[in-house]
Amino acid sequence: MIDIIPAIDVIDGKCVRLSKGDYNQKKIYAEDPLEVAIMMQDAGCKRLHLVDLDGAKSNHIVNYKVLERIATKTNLIIDFGGGLKSDEDLRIAFDCGASMITGGSIAVKQPDTFKSWIDTYGSEKIILGADARDGKISTSGWTNDSNHDIIPFIRNYMNQGITQVISTDINVDGMLRGPSVNLYKEILEVMPELYLIASGGVSSMADIEALEQAEVPAVIVGKAIYEERISLKELEKFNLSR
């Protein structure tokens, strides 16, 4: 059964969502991300995807206090990403309660550093962020497109020990028009052992069922919950059925 992982994206300490990664298309959903995290925990969620969008833009960790509050006030397993570029950023993230971190831009721009993180912390604590636009990996809070094709990019890091990958199709993220099921099928056909976490475009429980039918192991859901396309009751019922 597919795992549902709720997402909280943070700008200026507030819970927000962007459309297609555009910082100019920002909508604030809650002043306090902790309140949202508690709601997700109460709905039976065990894990949280927490993204420091300020950090992604600044190239260093920014909203670590939000991470610390959620980690100390809930029992959620938190994977944290956004702007992690140095060993010190990682130290702060783990000290503030992250169970795992996600590295995207760093894996493109500083592959030796990212590989050292895998070696130091282990693949259970380091997640590869493979976010793509038109099949090419994007970096720097999705503001820059690289020349890396997504499947060879993921395969390279699997060969270096990575077992978990979060992949967002930027073209559908925040648009509530459905996830890129075919992209995820293509990735899993090549790397069936991968714990692939789909992200972007989910608009309903039917979308999650489509991903489950495609044997995608996990999905991140954000805007669909905040826009009440997926209710907390539906989320709770799904989690209780596991």
Catalytic residues: 9, 131
Tokens of 121: 């912390």
* Alpha helix positions (H), the chain: 33-42, 53-58, 64-73, 87-95, 105-109, 111-121, 150-158, 181-190, 205-213, 223-226, 232-240
Element (H, E) at 74: none
- Contact status, residue 222 vs residue 17, Cβ threshold 8 Å: yes
- Distance from C-alpha of 75 to C-alpha of 78, rounded to nearest angstrom: 9
At 181, the amino acid letter reads V
